[in-house]
Amino acid sequence: MRALRLHFDESFTEDGPVTKEGPAIWLDSELCLLRYWITERETIRISKEGGLPKPWTADTYLRDYRWCNVSRMDDRVSVELMRDWYCDADVKTQLIGAALGRLINWPATLLDATGGKPFTSNLLPAIRPALHARAARGEKVFTGAYVIPGVPGRNKIDSVMDLVERVADAVTWLYRPTLRETWSALVTLDGLGSFLAGQITADVAQLAAGSLWSDRLSWAPVGPGSARGINRLRGREKNRSVTQTQFDRELAEYVELMRPLIRDIHVDRRLGAQDYQGTLCEFDKYRRLQLQEGKVRARYDGGSVSTDLSPQQNLFA
């Protein structure tokens, strides 16, 4: 695979963007494939929302598996949370609501627990028994999109509600002047890791509580999937460790490289750092499927018509 060589401005050389580690190498074949994934996934969203019949793509991987949207705010759960769960409330209420919303991540459960009302802090005491009642009826409580951790030996509902109540107790201390500082505070809570803290702060960034965060569109936490994704783009071993400091720098470089290639999507969907971080996670999943590196559990019935695609033409030649 060839390495990308571009000249953007004085911070770039003919060998790529200059970093403290020297000229950065980006593989143009991988960037091209990720650009293809972004444009094809967005085309699928438009076709689906436009009411067109399946299949919405000839790509069997995109057709037969579940994928996040390019913009996380276009994902079904995000749309429903923003529409039905969050309300025009104070900063503390919105942060607690985001913690509860993303730890459950199933809008039907959340609204069942509040009697169909948007979240307000005074509803919190009634939510734990309502979740237990829903579980006793055999109804779905938690998302299947990602793993919600619990405390070994303790009921999962109680584990999650204990964590939400710790967020509520410490909410004044947890809410900080920036997204990054708030995320850093959240991950100090036992049971709340980088990914879930990132989901919470990404939602708050879309609400009044995060509207003044200067980094609301420019910062995102690294996670296992996005670390593997950025490693693939850089031609490194996919499981190589990526620190947050390194990811901060490389995510910014990736955005600068990809943004002009998907300019219309970037503008139309108002993409921010969290969205670009998400594309790295999804790209890693896409490459795992292509390279047969492991199984992906979330299947999807997207139709049956397919053709061979060759998306890896060199965009930078």
Which of the listed residues 206, 235, 257 is the one where a domain comes to its end? Answer: 206
Q: Is residue 36 part of a domain?
A: yes
The answer to the question of residue 184 being in a domain is yes
Q: Are residues 53 and 114 in the same domain?
A: no
Q: What are the tens digits of pLDDT across the range 217-259? A: 999 999 999 999 999 999 999 999 999 999 999 999 999 999 9
198-202, long-range: CB < 8 A, 24+ apart: 198/223, 198/274, 198/277, 199/102, 199/105, 200/95, 200/98, 200/99, 200/102, 201/98, 202/72, 202/274
In a domain, 247, yes or no: yes
At 296 the pLDDT is: 85
Over residues 300-312, the pLDDT tens digits come to 999 865 444 444 4
Q: Are strands 22-23 and 26-27 parallel, antiparallel or unpaired?
A: unpaired
Task: Please state the rounded mean pLDDT for residues 119-135.
Answer: 97
Domain boundary among 177, 206, 235: 206
For residues 179 and 255, membership in a common domain is answered with no
My answer on whether 161 and 252 are in the same domain is: no
In a domain, 317, yes or no: no
pLDDT at residue 280, as a whole number = 98
Tell me if 305 is assigned to some domain: no
pTM tops 0.85? yes
Q: Find which of 14-28, 147-161, 188-202 is predicted with most confidence, using mean pLDDT.
A: 188-202
Report the percentage of the chain scoring pLDDT > 90. 81
The sign of the torsion formed by the CA atoms of 88, 93, 98, 104 equals negative
- Burial zone of 83 (CB within 10 Å; 0-12 exposed, 13-18 middle, 19+ buried): exposed
Percent of the residues in the chain that have a pLDDT greater than 70, as a whole number: 88
CA distance 64 to 44: 12
Flag whether 119 is in a domain: yes
Q: Quick one: 198 and 225 in the same domain?
A: no
Residue where one domain finishes, among candidates 156, 177, 206 = 206
> Are residue 112 and residue 200 in the same domain, yes or no?
yes
Tell whether 105 and 68 lie within a shared domain. Answer: no
**113 lies in the same domain as 196:** yes
Same domain, residue pair 258 and 158:
no
Residues 91 and 198 in one domain: yes
* Tokens (6 digits) for 69: 């949207």
pLDDT tens profile 254-293: 999 999 999 999 999 999 999 999 999 999 999 999 999 9
**Does the pLDDT at position 15 exceed 70?**
no
What domain range includes position 268? 3-72+219-290
* Residue 11 predicted with pLDDT over 50: no
Is residue 171 a part of any domain in this protein? yes
CA distance 298 to 81: 22
Do residues 234 and 286 share a domain?
yes
Residues 152, 225, single domain; the answer is no
Q: Is residue 279 part of a domain?
A: yes
Closest Cα to residue 232, out of 191, 187, 293, 185? Answer: 293
Strand, helix or coil at 148? coil
Higher local confidence (pLDDT), 23 or 109 = 109
Neighbour count for residue 76 (Cβ, 10 Å): 10
* Structural domains in the chain (count): 2
Q: Are residues 34 and 96 in the same domain?
A: no
